[in-house]
Amino acid sequence: MTTISAPVINRPSATSVGTIVWLGSEVMFFAALFAMYFSLKANSPAIWEQGTGILNVPFALVNTIILVLSSFTAQFGVFAAERMQPRATGLSPVKWGMVEWFLLSYLLGAVFVAGQVWEYATLISEGVALNSNSYGSAFYITTGFHALHVTGGLIAFLLVIGKTFAAKKFGHYEATSAIVVSYYWHFVDVVWIGLFLIVYVLK
Give the residue, 92 or 200, on which the prediction is more confident: 200
CATH 1.20.120.80 assigned to 33-201: yes
Rounded CA-CA distance 94/79 in Å is 11
How far, in Å, are 11, 70, 118, 145, 175 from residue 63 at the CA level?
39, 11, 11, 17, 29
Residues 175-194: tens digit of each pLDDT: 899 999 999 999 999 999 99
pLDDT at residue 12, rounded to an integer? 58
Q: What is the residue extent of each domain of the chain? A: 33-201
Q: CB of 166 within 8 A of CB of 172?
A: no
* Centroid of chain to Cα 102: 13
Rounded CA-CA distance 64/21 in Å is 26
Residue 75 has pLDDT above 60, yes or no: yes
Please give the model's pTM, rounded to 2 decimal places. Answer: 0.87
Long-range contacts of 171-178 (CB under 8 A, 24+ apart): 171/84, 174/81, 174/86, 175/81, 175/82, 175/84, 175/98, 176/13, 176/15, 176/16, 177/15, 178/77, 178/78, 178/81, 178/98, 178/102
Is the CA virtual torsion 70, 113, 184, 98 positive or negative? positive
CA angle 48, 54, 58 (to 5 degrees): 115
Residue 5 has pLDDT above 50, yes or no: no
40 C-beta neighbours (distance < 10 Å), count? 18
> Among 62-66, 70-74, 86-90, 146-150, whose mean pLDDT is lowest?
86-90
Helix ranges restricted to H, the chain: 14-43, 45-52, 57-82, 98-125, 134-166, 172-196
Residue type, 151: T
Rounded to whole angstroms, the maximal C-alpha distance in the chain is 84
89 C-beta neighbours (distance < 10 Å), count? 10
Residues 155-171: tens digit of each pLDDT: 999 999 999 988 888 88
